[in-house]
Amino acid sequence: MLFKKIIFIILVTLITIPLFASNSTSIVTSSLTGVVVDKSSGAPLIGVNVYFPDLRKGAITDGNGKYEINNLPAITQSIEISYTGYQTITKDINLRTNRTANFAMTESNSELNEVIVTGVSKATQIKQSPVPIVAVDKVYLNENSASNNIIAEITHIPGISTVTTGPNISKPFIHGLGYNRVVTLLDGIRIEGQQWGDEHGIEVDQNAINHIEVIKGPASLTYGSGAIAGVINLITAPTIPDGRILGSFSNDYGTNNGLINTSFQLQGNNNGLVWGTVLTNKLAKNYENQHDGRVYATGFKEKDARVMIGLNKSWGYSYLNASVFDDIQDIPDGSRDSLTRQFTYQITDADTYRPIVPASMLDSYATPALHQHVQMYNIYDNSSFNIGNNTLLLNLGYQYSHRREYTHPQNPSVPGLNLELHTLNYDLKYNFTPGNNYETTIGLNGMYQDNKLGKNSTDFPIPAYRLFDIGAFVFAKKSFGKVDVSAGGRYDTRVISSSAAYIDTTVTYFPSLYYGQNPTGTPNVIQQFNAFHKTFSGPSGSLGAAYNVSNALLLKANIATGFRAPSIAELSANGADPGSQIYHVGNINFKPEYSIQGDIGAYITLPVVSASAELYDNNIENYIFQEQMTDANGTPERVNANGSLNPNGQYSRFTYTQTKARILGGDFTLDIHPLAWLHFENSLTLTYGTNLGNHGNEPDSLRYLPFIPPLHTYSALRATFSKGFNWFRGMYGYIGLTHFEPQKRFFAAYGTETYTAGYNLLSAGFGGNIVNRKGEKVVELYIEGTNLANVNYQSNMSRLKYFDNPVVPAGIQPGIFNMGRNVSLKVVIPFDLSPKTKVTNKI
């Protein structure tokens, strides 16, 4: 089955490329050369990226600041000139009439000129997009490498937060919305794992990502059901210059949990035949803090590999990618000895007695018997074909997500949870220009899924199911001088179905699941899942404008609607999820969510001050969220794996509910830079989530929504020396303070959430590049310290806050605290294996 789907993707790619490439002889080709210099001194800049985003072609300036790009289509395209510490330059170039383009760059960290490719018809500047969007590059990701995963690396972006289950599991939230409301992409392809699960992270190698683009707000228009909160597009490295073979070796070490993150990367380009690979090995032991000491079962081991091969010619490009993500993640539960409060661990399936975890186990890289094993196999193709001045884009993908959670210490090879999700993605877009200054896209995209319950598992939180998505959209953009207006509409249909399933509970800890008719008269057989067939359909759309009042002032406004069909867990969950310690109960009668969100933004860029304010108001009909179930006395229910009530049971029982909701707030930034090299950076994020219920005056315990981040700020004093000193270039250093207010606005009903105290976290970092006599990088160095004051704190977005014994002694703060002081040292060693006779700086 897997082999057939991989062959299908390859065959479609191999058939499609010649079909369009056969017309390449009619395409007029062009070339572009030029020089990039420092505007103030006139000195050439070495290593500047000169790039055509829509063509995925570019060059890197040589020792004289020169670049050359050949084999370009003779059409008008947007070009981006970017260099660390300098303001990005973007402009449209008519390649039919222009063969030379020189650029003079100004030192600045302002990135409103940056080109983005997510959520738009063609590559465009951020300042021309009405939708709130932010982008970060590889330098930003390296400077935040103390984070253990790719999503955690972007949490300093205003409006972005994460629900975490330890250091290596982070679920992205945008403006208080997460789970199946955020669509995460890899090179424009939806990443489909088990997003409904609290402890199910994003299955992507952080070392393979080159830059990230985030849409903050409904993006259902171009990405379909599920993008009601926004989109996070993880983008791999662009192709390198023709005739080059470039690579790097990196290693990152973290002092707190002994993180060792080693990665090898290699890329090549031979006359448009491009290829690349990334290999990663990560491992970490249990993290620690002053309050808990080492936190048992928070270590992990991860191995990743990806390869890419493709063609980049004047007719367009086609890249075939394949990757494997393999993560072994410990499963914490927070159980402790009642007298000493030391961590204990499960040794029998009956779980009648738990010994204290010895120090040797706490300070070890060994994987305990209770752990998750998550594998993601991904093969996808990104293709773009130039048809005159128009473009046809085709993205096809296949993913196989295999999640196993081992929860039987006496039978460590038997998985409790065993889910196998197969996904086929398709995405077809046609970009064309019907008139002067118009950009229009029509598209069709969706997916097919087949989720199976693997053999020999013992816990069944969700049923096996099949899902089919299809959606069509139209998007148009028009420029009126300083004003850019965009609008679009979409209609989605999702069909999801499942068969009835039954459990034979004869064996206490190892029930068997089967399908078919319930056998009459068979004892110990219960129905776990009902058969169902549901169809959800709905429209979505957006209308917005960006007004570049002047070079110093930009105004944006956008109104958008979103559509989201309920997830499989929300509809039909009925079982235990071992990794989350939750017994889920769904509701087959749920309706789809609809949202309408208004955004306004103002951006000021002055010689010594840059500032922005983005305000939003999101109203959601049929909002779905989880709440703790309680007994007749109002006590939170605890159950065994089979759902039977037990005050000391392993699982808390949660159900899903549906309501009206409103989320509003704002993201604010202020950057004071009296000197080109000195910046005082500040940001503030404010998010209010309100449960409107049926009438808008719910009692206090029901008034707020769960997992809403409190008001928080980030301030950093940063010094950047792009030109550096002697052998050092691109030097930087900063000291930062993150402040979180107490979260008093929480969903207190039924004991679902509790109050979270405020806290302050001190961070600092420095680094830069060591260069040789030619000005070429030989070493990149990044040193980052987080929670340097070693503060004991609990984030309201951390699920470990609720991991403890059912009964906690009076006067003791329950739950597990976040990571203490950590210092990360990352070293990157680039190397060049290019043939000496073929070295060039062109793509």
Any idea what the CATH number is for the domain that residue 189 is in?
2.40.170.20
Bridge pairing between strands 182-186 and 678-691 = unpaired
843 located within any domain: no
One domain for residues 118 and 198:
no
Q: Pick the more confident residue, 820 or 78.
A: 820
Name the least confident of 2-6, 352-356, 643-647. 2-6
Q: According to the model, what pLDDT value does residue 839 have? A: 44
Q: Pick the more confident residue, 698 or 770.
A: 770
Question: What are the distances in angstroms from CA 164 to CA 54, 178, 195, 200, 794?
Answer: 35, 12, 13, 9, 11
130 located within any domain: no
Over residues 794-800, the mean pLDDT reads 95
In three-state secondary structure terms, 221 is helix
One domain for residues 641 and 676:
yes
Residue 403 structure tokens: 């999640």
Long-range contacts for 247-250 (Cβ within 8 Å, ≥24 apart)?
247/830, 247/831, 247/833, 248/828, 248/829, 248/830, 248/831, 249/828, 249/829, 249/831, 250/207, 250/826, 250/827, 250/828, 250/829
* pLDDT over 90 (residue 147): no
Domain edge (last residue) among 94, 125, 156 = 125
From 805, 820, 810, 809, select the one nearest 334 (Cα to Cα): 805
Residue recorded with tokens 């994003």: 202
Q: Pick the more confident residue, 146 or 173.
A: 173
Q: According to the model, what pLDDT value does residue 503 have? A: 85
Residue recorded with tokens 């959209």: 473
* pLDDT over 60 (residue 696): no
Per-residue pLDDT tens digits for 3-51: 455 555 555 554 555 455 544 445 567 789 999 999 888 989 888 999 9
**CATH number of the domain encompassing residue 99:** 2.60.40.1120
Per-residue pLDDT tens digits for 454-476: 888 888 999 999 999 999 999 99
Domain ranges, residue 62: 6-125
* Structural domains in the chain (count): 2
Over residues 554-569, the mean pLDDT reads 95
Q: According to the model, what pLDDT value does residue 506 have? A: 76
From 522, 542, 518, select the one nearest 530 (Cα to Cα): 518
Q: According to the model, what pLDDT value does residue 623 have? A: 96
Over residues 769-787, the mean pLDDT reads 92
586 located within any domain: yes
Bridge pairing between strands 89-94 and 103-105 = unpaired
Q: Which residues contact 241 (CB under 8 A, 6 or more apart)?
A: 58, 59, 60, 269, 840, 841, 842, 843
* pLDDT over 70 (residue 505): yes
One domain for residues 510 and 639:
yes
246 located within any domain: yes
Are 236 and 187 in contact, with CB atoms under 8 Å apart? yes
Angstrom distance (rounded) from CA 627 to CA 629 = 6
763 located within any domain: yes
* pLDDT over 70 (residue 112): no
Q: According to the model, what pLDDT value does residue 837 have? A: 57
Q: Pick the more confident residue, 439 or 5.
A: 439
1 located within any domain: no
Over residues 616-638, the mean pLDDT reads 89
Question: What are the distances in angstroms from CA 706 to CA 332, 457, 816?
Answer: 22, 31, 19
Over residues 667-671, the mean pLDDT reads 97
* pLDDT over 50 (residue 181): yes
Over residues 729-748, the mean pLDDT reads 95
One domain for residues 247 and 331:
yes
- State pTM to two decimals: 0.93
770 located within any domain: yes
Over residues 694-714, the mean pLDDT reads 84
701 confidence band (pLDDT: 50, 70, 90): confident
Over residues 681-703, the mean pLDDT reads 85
From 378, 421, 415, select the one nearest 396 (Cα to Cα): 378
* pLDDT over 90 (residue 148): no
Domain edge (last residue) among 97, 125, 153 = 125
797 confidence band (pLDDT: 50, 70, 90): very high
Name the least confident of 258-262, 415-419, 740-744, 819-823. 415-419
One domain for residues 229 and 328:
yes
Domain edge (last residue) among 79, 103, 125 = 125
One domain for residues 692 and 601:
yes
Per-residue pLDDT tens digits for 329-338: 999 999 999 9
Per-residue pLDDT tens digits for 187-210: 999 999 988 887 888 999 999 999
One domain for residues 188 and 86:
no
Q: According to the model, what pLDDT value does residue 99 have? A: 87
Over residues 273-278, the mean pLDDT reads 97
Angstrom distance (rounded) from CA 332 to CA 578 = 10
Q: Which residues contact 562 (CB under 8 A, 6 or more apart)?
A: 218, 219, 220, 227, 228, 229, 540, 593, 594, 595, 596, 597
Average pLDDT, the chain: 90
818 located within any domain: yes
Q: According to the model, what pLDDT value does residue 125 have? A: 85
One domain for residues 77 and 153:
no
From 753, 667, 755, select the one nearest 705 (Cα to Cα): 753
Q: What percentage of the chain exceeds 70 in pLDDT? A: 94
Q: Which residues contact 487 (CB under 8 A, 6 or more apart)?
A: 475, 476, 541, 542, 543, 544
Q: Pick the more confident residue, 836 or 838.
A: 836
Q: According to the model, what pLDDT value does residue 92 have? A: 85
User: Concatenated DSSP letters for 580-603?
Assistant: GTEEEE--TTPPPEEEEEEEEEEE
One domain for residues 632 and 774:
yes
Are 174 and 160 in contact, with CB atoms under 8 Å apart? yes
One domain for residues 687 and 717:
yes
Name the least confident of 80-89, 387-396, 563-572. 80-89
Q: According to the model, what pLDDT value does residue 519 have? A: 64
Angstrom distance (rounded) from CA 553 to CA 248 = 40
One domain for residues 92 and 176:
no
One domain for residues 646 and 762:
yes
Q: According to the model, what pLDDT value does residue 843 have? A: 46
